[in-house]
Amino acid sequence: MGDPADAAHIREVGVIGAGQMGNGIAHVLALAGIEVPLYDAKPEALTRALETIGRNVDRQVAKGLVSAEAREAALRRIRPAAGLADFSRCDAVIEAATEKEDIKRAIFAGLQPHLREDCLLATNTSSLSVTRLAAATDRPARFIGMHFFNPVPVMKLVEIIRGIATDDATYRTVAGLAARLGKETALAEDFPGFMANRILMPMINEAVYTLYEGVGTIEAIDTTMKLGCNHPMGPLELADFIGLDTCLSIMQVLLDGLSDTKYRPCPLLVKYVEAGWLGRKTGRGFYDYSVTPPRPTR
């Protein structure tokens, strides 16, 4: 667990990417009293993010977790950024863009000219090499992985990944920032998939193989893991929640980085992604979300 005192000087943290991870990160930062410029290349994504944050904070107010006054103060702290130049005052910036290395590299290249020299950079990557991303920036010593989990306001863990060049001060500050957000931290070495996805994604991939080979139906596989292993969500339901494109991308990172065929993505997972059936975010994955309750698609 980090010491919040190590991050007491952090007053403004920019977030790049306003999707489900980015808006959740902005949400928890703002509730912790931190100013948050939020940027997305798609203006409509920013509009949706602010609406989502408002609904999610309202849910916390209804549950008695957040006061109405804290809600209003938090929402005022989040401001849509017109461009990367709006991050010039930030003490740290967290990148939460899609899990594609070329996109992340392009973001850092465009961002660097606008940052203070002492600004920290964090990536929310769930599988990519932090060392390699850091090396593409002008501040590898002040670059770190800060992997939040979805939904960010609910999930308690932040996986912290030091690149080979990350200095101790950056690690202490980021661990302290996570503590200010009420999160527990786990330090992972910079290997493909880190810890959580190195364990989770092969399980999801194996569940897809189990379906592909006809061992069980979608419902049977999910029921087995929920009732037999006490998982809160079945692996195929969880894959839909994460996004099948994200699951496939992480499996490919594991296969490429570790060169072990046990990480080969299931052909059925590939087919679903090729079909655009990416899970909840597209309304269809292993389940069809156009009906209630969702119906298995196979």
Residue-wise pLDDT for 92-133, tens only, equals: 999 999 888 999 999 999 999 999 999 999 999 999 999 999
* Residue % of the chain over a pLDDT of 90: 96
Q: Structural domains in the chain?
A: 4-188 (3.40.50.720), 196-296 (1.10.1040.10)
Could you report the per-residue pLDDT of 132-150, keeping only the tens digit for each?
999 999 999 999 999 999 9
What does R_g of the chain's alpha carbons equal in angstroms? Answer: 19
Catalytic residues: 126, 147, 159, 197
Could you report the per-residue pLDDT of 42-52, keeping only the tens digit for each?
999 999 999 99
pLDDT at residue number 269: 98
What CA–CA distances, in Å, run from 207 to 39, 125, 234, 269? 36, 24, 9, 10
Q: Which residues contact 19 (CB under 8 A, 6 or more apart)?
A: 40, 45, 49, 96, 98
pLDDT at 1 over 80: no
pLDDT at 297 over 90: yes
pLDDT at residue number 2: 85
Q: What is the mean pLDDT of the chain?
A: 96
Kindly indicate the confidence band of residue 153, based on its pLDDT and cuts at 50, 70 and 90: very high
Could you report the per-residue pLDDT of 165-220, keeping only the tens digit for each?
999 999 999 999 999 999 999 999 999 999 999 999 999 999 999 999 999 999 99
Helices (H), the chain: 20-31, 43-62, 68-77, 101-111, 130-135, 168-180, 196-212, 218-223, 235-242, 244-258, 267-274
Burial of 92 (0-12, 13-18, 19+ CB in 10 A): buried
* Residue % of the chain over a pLDDT of 70: 100
Kindly indicate the confidence band of residue 164, based on its pLDDT and cuts at 50, 70 and 90: very high
CB atoms within 10 A of CB 294: 17
Q: Which helix (H) or strand (E) holds 144?
A: strand 143-148
Could you report the per-residue pLDDT of 240-290, keeping only the tens digit for each?
999 999 999 999 999 999 999 999 999 999 999 999 999 999 999 999 999
pLDDT at residue number 278: 97
CA atoms of 181 and 184, how far apart (whole Å):
9
